[in-house]
Homo-oligomer: A and B are copies of this chain.
Amino acid sequence: MNDIDQIIETLRGKQFRITPQRELIIRALADVDEDDHLTAEEIHKRVQVHTSAVNIATVYRTLDMLVEEGLVSRIDLGGDKEVFATVHHGMHMHLVCRQCGHVLDADAQILRDVGQYLFSEYEFVADLEHISLFGICANCQQ
């Protein structure tokens, strides 16, 4: 069973209705390349390719629902850039370039220690699945 069917199955189990719109939105989210993430606007565009009309409000409402149900992560890339991805995306960091805006995905294993430190020192349970760090990428250093 793939990502898409798995999400739909879970939703059915929770008595959510599977509308064509919801299916398209879920498909758009799951059908991206390995470490790609989409904004609400991008999801809207991708869905529009298939049927001419899925309202942007529906995209927002569906995304909110999927996040609420724990099936999709809302990932903050700083400023007002907010992207979405299915939860199957493993733990990783987003290295966001302040200059060119490019987002590079990085291994986040080194953050294990940080997570433990924050818990022992501050009793803070950090969500390290999708963290974003800002800086300057290789290309933009002259």
A interface with B by C-beta (< 8 Å): 76, 78-80, 82, 95, 97-98, 104, 106-107, 110-111, 113-114, 117-118, 121-128, 131, 133-138, 141
Contact = CB atoms under 8 A, between A and B. Distances in A.
A127 B98 contact: yes
B124 A138 contact: yes
A94 to B, nearest CB: 11
Query: Most B CB atoms within 10 A — which of A106, A127, A135, A136?
Result: A135
A133 B131 contact: yes
B79 A134 contact: no
Contacts of A104: 122, 124
Nearest to A95: B124
